[in-house]
Structure 1
């Protein structure tokens, strides 16, 4: 079942048998009702007459998780100018276990003062290198700008924001990295080349004359321009963004997310790459592409498939895409740092499949990524693999009263393009084929 079918079929409700709360999902409308279909694109509505009601009413302040208050008080750092695409810079680097997209906030706890690697100045930039994800024998990473920091004895606590993609450039001796020893510790740095972000114009608009441009009607202009072009209009439409943005609008309405960088096509493509469930191969393809259009076309194809989240060790289905929701203003998939300095990319879901997970620790509020919630370690019932965490509200006024945070390192995305029967609301686990 594709996302389009999911958003536009009949309404349904789900009762979580083990929960003491009723979770209501989106009311869905017939495909042949174009007026109602357009309303879905606009996002969830509060008007009861249009038939669109929220999946679930959150009473929690989703601003809190994005502040990463569990890191303690940090010194604020001023913003820096973006680096010129194609330019080469020498910056301190640190290895990272997963791909990070520009626009994502990454908290870091490092064991040494990495920012002052040359002993002269602090650049307040750090490069996260993806050693585990090479591409055509090349190593890539992302430049992170420090927004907050605090030096504590032998560690440095950083709150960074990923800004630009880069590729490692070999130095004069052919090595990709060099080290500088200070205070009996090795600090690594590298030469990086900033990658461009190619934003292509609409090919049909290039055929528009000055008189046509004066007409403030894009659809009419494209139709007139197609008459003087080599290919018919439907060919150009396949590489346009209008239909893609309509499908993205459905996805955002489903997640009830409004604070999305839709005005910037580059940042929108990266935001979607972080918040749409992707296989490892798709994540790489989206990151390594310099073209915004290529990313959006791939995202367009991905939205035609349903997905489930399976244990990476035993492939047992743990959760469904239908239970994703945004517990943070930054989306459904956010990176958090534990007290040991390991960064977990965490996907929030209302629930897991019944009897697939269990908790192995007592509830704790210490270092909680979601203030006002206690956490417990959750593992897979089949193979005892660490899956993520169960969060339970410590205040009665908070909704949801409980939810799960799945660790991206412990799960894999499984996809299916099977068309379900009329009485099915989501794909069955046995029909899900795992994407390697």
Structure 2
């Protein structure tokens, strides 16, 4: 595709939590003005002061609200409408193999093998997927996805390590736009030269990418474990993939019941955590770039233990890690796309602090969670757009309200002890030493 693939939508477009309009009429009970008027009144129980959130984080157990919502609807991205399933799956490429694929840079989103990527592409953008759909095997239906971020200096930074994605479902709308679901396949690296040439020419249709396989990490033999002294067992628990997987499952299960039921290998679990836990793009990029599941699981554990969402721009506390829960059967984090094609990486929480302010009236159109109306919410200190409050519009739907926070607007950091040994400070993650 020629031109700037990732021309960021206008701010007003980014604010719209708006899945694709399926053309279906909104049910009368959700469009009734009296219902929406009632939803615009905030419940005081949804807001906490920073002091209350700190106390909650220190003393309370994980807060998991009762859920009657069908969480499979969010995971299936039903807001994109009925889609055609494409038959067959692609064969994996060998480690180190170089192939030419359409390259799709996406703002603040990191795709992992096995992860779900919802796409809505207009007539100009869909050329990428059209090229992939028309390609001959083994390249058919494959694109390469990399993340780019915009630091405070405003200059975009493109990551060289990304993931291939196979288009599994498509739907063409009357306006010529294309709704797709793609699934992550294999890690890839784009050379600095190829990336620079694509950026300079604004051409992304056929970019050479190199496939990267993870280096397998064998578990510690059982007989060796029996002979370990206590310090040896500590080392074993810190580096054995199965021991790390058990620890990561326990931490993730507090936010997502699906984690405890996960039956894949430690490698597959490391990818699942990267896809479905609410980590920010920098952390996810670190996890994608490391070359084995041990480092990836260790990184996930470091972030999950002290999760403490704060506004990325002014640092005020937004919620507590105790309030993170799953409104999707995939997990508490996930990507959702609006009608303009902008993809938001979302974290769902049950409560927020009083540093969050609502803007505008509740809207039922384009809701990512069927049966819920959305209202824009911003940081009351710096006015940055944090996400949306979702409020139930149907009787019996639980929870009655929850919050979807944009992970790109948050500052998840590792909580460490302050220099005085008592007060906590917040330091960013150190880069991991092992890269794939």
Q: Smaller-chain TM-score range?
A: 0.7 to 0.9
How many residues matched? Answer: 357
Q: Is this contact kept in 1: 2:62–2:254, CA < 8 A? A: no
Partner of residue 162 from structure 2, selected from 132, 137, 141: 141
Q: Which runs of 5+ in 1 are unaligned?
A: 1-15, 22-51, 181-185, 206-217, 420-427
The structure-2 alpha-carbon separation of the partners of 1:246 and 1:170, relative to structure 1 and needing over 3 Å to count, comes to closer
The structure-2 alpha-carbon separation of the partners of 1:308 and 1:365, relative to structure 1 and needing over 3 Å to count, comes to same
Give the Cα–Cα distance (whole angstroms) in 1 for the partners of residues 361 and 350 of structure 2.
20
Name 1:18's counterpart in structure 2.
44
Q: Is this contact kept in 2: 1:113–1:155, CA < 8 A? A: no
Tell me the secondary structure at the aligned position of residue 357 of structure 2. strand
Name 1:296's counterpart in structure 2.
297
The structure-2 alpha-carbon separation of the partners of 1:328 and 1:110, relative to structure 1 and needing over 3 Å to count, comes to same
Name 1:36's counterpart in structure 2.
none
The structure-2 alpha-carbon separation of the partners of 1:306 and 1:127, relative to structure 1 and needing over 3 Å to count, comes to same
Partner of residue 113 from structure 1, selected from 115, 118, 127: 127
Residue 149 (structure 2) pairs with residue 156 (structure 1): no
Residue 98 (structure 2) pairs with residue 88 (structure 1): yes
1:21-420 equivalences under 5 Å are 55-78=64-87, 79-98=89-108, 99-111=110-122, 112-117=126-131, 121=135, 123-132=140-149, 139-152=160-173, 153-169=175-191, 175-176=197-198, 188-202=205-219, 204-205=220-221, 218=222, 221-224=223-226, 234-258=234-258, 261-278=262-279, 281-303=282-304, 305-353=305-353, 355-418=354-417
The structure-2 alpha-carbon separation of the partners of 1:400 and 1:167, relative to structure 1 and needing over 3 Å to count, comes to same
Give the Cα–Cα distance (whole angstroms) in 1 for the partners of residues 299 and 158 of structure 2.
23
Structure richer in helix, relative to its length? 2
The structure-2 alpha-carbon separation of the partners of 1:295 and 1:90, relative to structure 1 and needing over 3 Å to count, comes to same
Tell me the secondary structure at the aligned position of residue 284 of structure 2. helix
Give the Cα–Cα distance (whole angstroms) in 2 for the partners of residues 85 and 432 of structure 1.
42
Please tell me the root mean square deviation across aligned C-alpha atoms, in Å. Answer: 3.6
Give the Cα–Cα distance (whole angstroms) in 2 for the partners of residues 371 and 138 of structure 1.
34
The structure-2 alpha-carbon separation of the partners of 1:268 and 1:258, relative to structure 1 and needing over 3 Å to count, comes to same
Deviates more, 1:372-381 or 1:149-158: 149-158
TM-superposed deviation, 1:177: 7.0
Cα deviation code 1:243-300 (max 9, x no counterpart): 4334324323422513654422222012223444546543332111111112123333
Give the Cα–Cα distance (whole angstroms) in 1 for the partners of residues 264 and 91 of structure 2.
20
Q: Is this contact kept in 2: 1:170–1:176, CA < 8 A? A: no
Give the Cα–Cα distance (whole angstroms) in 2 for the partners of residues 56 and 137 of structure 1.
38
The structure-2 alpha-carbon separation of the partners of 1:278 and 1:188, relative to structure 1 and needing over 3 Å to count, comes to same
Q: Is this contact kept in 2: 1:279–1:414, CA < 8 A? A: no
Tell me the secondary structure at the aligned position of residue 175 of structure 1. helix
The structure-2 alpha-carbon separation of the partners of 1:110 and 1:315, relative to structure 1 and needing over 3 Å to count, comes to same
Report which of the two structures shows the higher radius of gyration computed on alpha carbons: 1
The structure-2 alpha-carbon separation of the partners of 1:20 and 1:385, relative to structure 1 and needing over 3 Å to count, comes to closer
Give the Cα–Cα distance (whole angstroms) in 1 for the partners of residues 63 and 309 of structure 2.
24
TM-superposed deviation, 1:90: 1.1
TM-superposed deviation, 1:301: 3.5
Give the Cα–Cα distance (whole angstroms) in 2 for the partners of residues 409 and 317 of structure 1.
15
TM-superposed deviation, 1:387: 0.4
TM-score by length of structure 1 reads: 0.72
The structure-2 alpha-carbon separation of the partners of 1:192 and 1:65, relative to structure 1 and needing over 3 Å to count, comes to same
TM-superposed deviation, 1:65: 0.3
Q: Is this contact kept in 2: 1:101–1:274, CA < 8 A? A: yes
Tell me the secondary structure at the aligned position of residue 327 of structure 2. coil
Could you list the structure 1 runs, at least 4 aligned residues long, displaced by more than 6 angstroms after superposition. 170-174, 177-180
TM-superposed deviation, 1:388: 0.1
Tell me the secondary structure at the aligned position of residue 217 of structure 2. coil
TM-superposed deviation, 1:107: 0.8
RCO comparison, higher one (Cα < 8 Å, 6+): 2
The structure-2 alpha-carbon separation of the partners of 1:127 and 1:317, relative to structure 1 and needing over 3 Å to count, comes to same
